[in-house]
Each structure stands twice: as structure tokens, then as C-alpha cells.
Structure 1
Amino acid sequence: MARYWCVVPAAGIGSRMQSVVPKQYLRINDRTVIEHALTPFLIANDIDGVVVAVSPGDATWPQVEHSLNTQGMRKLITTQGGLTRAQSVLNGLAALQARAADDDWVLVHDAARPCFGAQDLRHLMVQVANHAVGGIVAIRAKDTLKQAEERADRIAATIDRTQVWQAQTPQMFRFGLLYRSLQAALAAKVSVTDESSAVEWAGYAPLLVEGDARNLKVTTPEDLALARFWLSNAEVNS
């Protein structure tokens, strides 16, 4: 029977937050952003281990790790992150090589998405469980979309939004397929903006699983305020 693993790239600095503290360590209520992001995976009985890829010399992560471990969430595995998100994910997969089988599932989640809850996780796992490749959480585009000209300040065309989805995380794939796809894409110097883009480049068609707009990525101060609102007014991790 396939097992489930999780990889969380957390080596970024989040320069757009205009903060000296990396965005994953900013606080929402009494917990850091990354603690909120990790909790659904740490409490899920089906998840065997959670790898967190952090920057070399990260002095904050050991404190967060200790706090989570003392709460009984003892699935954490720490590894060194890379210069890019894709390299951090690849390092996280490498840390699982001795434990994970080719057909195991691995879920990759952003350290800065604190509003993804336990019910959301169960829904994704059920929807993707029988798919040969895997799938991602995404939401349908709601606004009218415009394609810019090369100068980027004039409209070239209006895009049919019914065919456009906004990718989120987690993204869930077979361990071996994702590992090989990422390795090959990086070796070919392909731009890998998320795990699905590497799998797509390798010739596969992942499943789209409709998610929730509340599953935002904390990138700007406004995002942090909105995440604080959602987490204060809804039990997203129940």
C-alpha cells in the first residue's frame, strides 16, 4: 500500500513582505505562519513524515521544530534548502529516498500558506488517490484576464478565463515520478515555478482539484492581514 509524505520548501526570505523576518516566521496569533502551514500534515494519521527544507544557518527553525515536537508532532525531518524553490523541493525528496517507494505519494506545500486545513487535505487525498500521476489544488480564475504586449503596459488580448486556473499547494504526485521529473527539468534548465510544471514538462497531465480562495500564499503585508482574519474567524485546521 502506498504511503504518504510531505515536503515543505522553507528556504525563501520573502523580500516582498518588507520584513527583516522571513515570512514563514511571521506570527499569526500565537503561532508562526509555517506552524499553521505544517499542522494539517503533522496531525494527519496518513502522513508518515514531513520534510522541511530550510536555509543553511537558519536560527529560527530549530526553535519552531522543538515547539512542534513538544506538542507531540514528531514527524519532522529537516534538510538543507537550495537557492530556488525547485532545488529545495528536490533536496526534500532526496531526504526521503531511503524511506519512500516509487509509488508512494508526496505532497508539496508552501511554507507560507497557513490557511490550508485538515478537511482540505483529506479532500485532496481522496480526489487524487486513484489517479496515475497526481494532482494539484487550484481555483478557477474569476476576474477578466488580459494578455499584455511585449512592452507589458498595453493589452494584446483578452484570455478566456473559463480555461484558466490559479495553481495553489499542496501539489500531490507519485514520489518517483516527481523526483525524476524535477531532476530532468532542472538539468534541462527548464523554468520550474511549481511541481506540476515539471511533471507537465515531462509529458503528464495532472488532475485539477478545486480548492478554496482562503488558501492564500502570504507574500505581502496585506496577505498576512487577510490570513490573520481567516484564521481568527474560521477553524480551517479542524
Structure 2
Amino acid sequence: MTDTSLSSVWVVIPAAGVGSRMEAETPKQYLKIEGKTILEHTLSCFINHPHVAGIIVALSSDDPYWNQLNIKSTTTPIYTVEGGAERSDSVEQALEYLRVLEKLDDDNWVMVHDAARPCVSQLDIDALLEIRSSESVGGILATPVRDTMKRSFSDQAKISHTESRENLWHALTPQLFKLGPLMRALEFCKNKSIAVTDEASAFEALGEHPQLVNGGHDNIKVTYPSDMQYAAFILRDRCAYD
């Protein structure tokens, strides 16, 4: 069997959501920062990366925005699939595309990345990819929790108690797993009606323990209107040093 531990990886970007917390008519991945949509910024993080074989974007069936994007890719193929109702459904659709049409086998590594994380750095992507030679399960970018964490009551915004920060991490993306095990983990959770908030949680449901790779705090997810200005600042600052 061919050793796929250090071969190029495919990137899956689920982009079928609407981002209701952004309170905008346009899905948040198509809102513009510094003259480009969030999704264009996100794609540019992976386009022409030396270890990225291609990108699969899962879109809503009635997406009117994708074909309007100005995506300049000289070497990286970008394909689309129809996404599902949930993030995990969109990821499964993309993985099935890779298995059937790109002929990827179970041992090929894939990265899944949020469409609304336009600020992931090349250094963080490279650090995650480095675990392929030593980690059998996979891993995710994450940052240790720095703030004091408070747990509220379920029915009111009042403090119930303080949670210990020890060993707590914020899960980020990309998340890196082998295609076959990831498909099986997602299918297991679907059959058991287990909520999957990210790909790592599907492996957790199987009793697996993915690697945590320390990533940058600037790898933010644009979720609320105030995040737009912060993301713009990060992107401007990065361009100034490129």
C-alpha cells in the first residue's frame, strides 16, 4: 500500500450555512472584508499551498453568490458539492465526492476548515500538517483558554460557578483526519443521533483522542458583526508584512 502519511491533503470547507447570528441578509461567508468576501479570504489561505492537493466547498443548493467570486487559483483545483442541513452533512457529502470522484482511499488525510475563519496563518496550517507522520488519529488547531470561565444557570444569565481553566482549550479549525475514519465517525454519530459540533467531537464519541496543536489566537471565526472589524485588522496587518 502507498504511504499517504506525507502526501498532499484535500481541504473541505462547509459553506452551506446562513450565519443567523450575524444578523445580515447575506450569508456571512459572503460578506466583504477589505474588498473580498470572507470565503475568498478563507480560500486564499489554502490556494497554492504546497501540501494542498485541492479544495472542496459544500454550498447551499440555492447559493446565488458562489459564481460571483473572484477566485484566482493557478495550481489548486476547487470543486463544489451540495451541502446538507447540518455541518456534518456537508462534510460527509464532500468526503464522498473525494472517495468516489477523486479516488481517495481511507488513509488519505483531509483538513476541514470553517468558511468563516479567514485569518488562519500558513504557520498554523503547517504545524497541523506536521502531525501526519506521528499521529494516527488526527488532530485540530486549538488555543488554551486564558480567561476565567463562568458557568451560568440554564434559565438565567447569572453565575452558577467558576470552571477551572486547567486543560481547557478553544477548538479551532482546520481539523485534520484520515478520510475513512472520519467518514465512519460521522456515520456512527448520525446513527446514534449524537450531535457533532466539529469533526473532533465525532472521534470523541468513539473514545478516540485527537491531538491538540497550539494555534494562533488570531484564527478567529467571524460570528458576530463586531468580528468583522477585528478580522479586517488581522488581515491588513498580515498583508503589511507579506
Fold shared per TM-score above 0.5: yes
**Offset at residue 150 of structure 1 (A):** 3.6
- Cα displacement string for residues 176-232 of structure 1 (whole angstroms, at most 9, x for unaligned residues): 111110011012110110000001101210000011111000011100110001101
**4+ runs deviating over 4 angstroms:** none
**Offset at residue 147 of structure 1 (A):** 2.1
Match for 2:191: what amino acid? Answer: A
Secondary structure of the corresponding residue to residue 103 of structure 1: coil
TM-score, normalization: structure 1? 0.93
Structure 1: unaligned runs, 5 residues or longer:
none
Match of 2:117 among 113, 119, 128: 113
Match of 1:159 among 146, 163, 168: 163
Q: Distance in 1 between matches of 2:94 and 2:241?
A: 24
Matched residue, 1:80: 82
Matched residue, 1:94: 96
Structure 2: unaligned runs, 5 residues or longer:
none
Identity of aligned residues (%): 39
Match of 2:143 among 130, 139, 152: 139
**Offset at residue 235 of structure 1 (A):** 3.7
Matched residue, 2:219: 215
Q: Is the 8 A contact 1:119 1:237 kept in 2?
A: no
Q: Distance in 2 between matches of 1:152 and 1:139?
A: 28
| Number of positions where the alignment pairs a residue of Structure 1 with one of Structure 2 | 235
Compared with structure 1, are the counterparts of its residues 16 and 236 closer, same or farther at alpha carbon in structure 2 (3 Å cutoff)?
A: farther
Q: Distance in 2 between matches of 1:5 and 1:63?
A: 23
Matched residue, 2:196: 192
Q: Distance in 2 between matches of 1:213 and 1:100?
A: 33
- Higher mean alpha-carbon deviation, 155-164 vs 21-30, is at 155-164
**Offset at residue 128 of structure 1 (A):** 4.3
Secondary structure of the corresponding residue to residue 11 of structure 2: strand
**Offset at residue 15 of structure 1 (A):** 1.2
Match of 1:122 among 119, 126, 135: 126
Q: Distance in 2 between matches of 1:130 and 1:80?
A: 34
Matched residue, 1:48: 53
TM-score, normalization: structure 2? 0.92
Compared with structure 1, are the counterparts of its residues 135 and 237 closer, same or farther at alpha carbon in structure 2 (3 Å cutoff)?
A: farther
CA RMSD of aligned residues (A): 1.7
Q: Distance in 2 between matches of 1:145 and 1:168?
A: 18
Compared with structure 1, are the counterparts of its residues 71 and 131 closer, same or farther at alpha carbon in structure 2 (3 Å cutoff)?
A: closer
Matched residue, 1:5: 10
Q: Is the 8 A contact 1:17 1:221 kept in 2?
A: yes
- Cα displacement string for residues 109-159 of structure 1 (whole angstroms, at most 9, x for unaligned residues): 000000012222111111344200000001111111122334343333321
**Offset at residue 77 of structure 1 (A):** 1.2
Aligned ranges for residues 224-235 of structure 1 at < 5 Å?
224-235=228-239
Secondary structure of the corresponding residue to residue 161 of structure 1: coil
2:33 matches 1:31: no
Secondary structure of the corresponding residue to residue 111 of structure 1: coil
Q: Is the 8 A contact 1:86 1:192 kept in 2?
A: yes
Compared with structure 1, are the counterparts of its residues 50 and 236 closer, same or farther at alpha carbon in structure 2 (3 Å cutoff)?
A: farther
Q: Is the 8 A contact 1:128 1:207 kept in 2?
A: no
Q: Distance in 2 between matches of 1:82 and 1:129?
A: 32
- Higher mean alpha-carbon deviation, 135-144 vs 70-79, is at 70-79
